[in-house]
Chains A and B, each alone.
Chain A
């Protein structure tokens, strides 16, 4: 499941939501492999697309990757792999 919201952005990003998700997915798959365990939350903020993977299973503790992706260039500005 993907949830997308916008906040505080005055221009349309040149990197689409789908493209930002693809950039994040390609990186996340290399590290976490099976991404079906996560729901994805995506928001566009003044500093870019924020994409966060959250575990679907409410019983487990752990983590997923969190990204900030430049909305103009598509560059990954920051990423954190939570465990």
Chain B
């Protein structure tokens, strides 16, 4: 494989089977059909190996009903963070907004990578279309 020349877009991440599987697993682990004291947010980060272009994912710690901490992605060997993902397991029927919250929008802009948010009505995208500044800038979120 040739080294990648750019960071994947949100659409490219969403089309990747590995990312789709990570979103599906996170969604199931959120227990979206369970009562409010059980269902919770799940999520993690998407990495690209800068030598091969291969994507991998890592999961964050379990969130709670309406929040999750995605602020500290672990370092993955020869890889940079190119996206993150989390779930919104609470249903519209109970009055919940399924898309990104104002807090999500602020955090996603600050973190500088696309955020794929899995909810009952599909996947919402927040943040930039691809990693800010490309693949440079270190292994974590871009500067």
Contact = CB atoms under 8 A, between A and B. Distances in A.
Interface string B45-80: 000000000000000000101111111100000000
Given A54-B103, A62-B103, A63-B101, A83 B69 contact: no
Interface residues of A, number: 18
B96 A62 contact: no
Contact of B71 (A32, A59, A63, A80): A59
Contact of B95 (A37, A57, A63, A79): A79
Interface in B85-105: 86, 88-90, 94-98, 101-104
Interface string B102-131: 111001100000000000000000000000
Contacts, number: 74
B97 to A, nearest CB: 5
A60 B95 contact: no
A82 B70 CA distance: 17
Contacts of B107: 61
Contact of B104 (A33, A63, A80): A63
7 contacts: A57-B67, A60-B71, A61-B107, A62-B103, A81-B94, A81-B96, A82-B96
Interface of B: 36, 41, 63, 65-72, 86, 88-90, 94-98, 101-104, 107-108
Nearest to B70: A61
A64 interface: yes
B97 A81 contact: yes
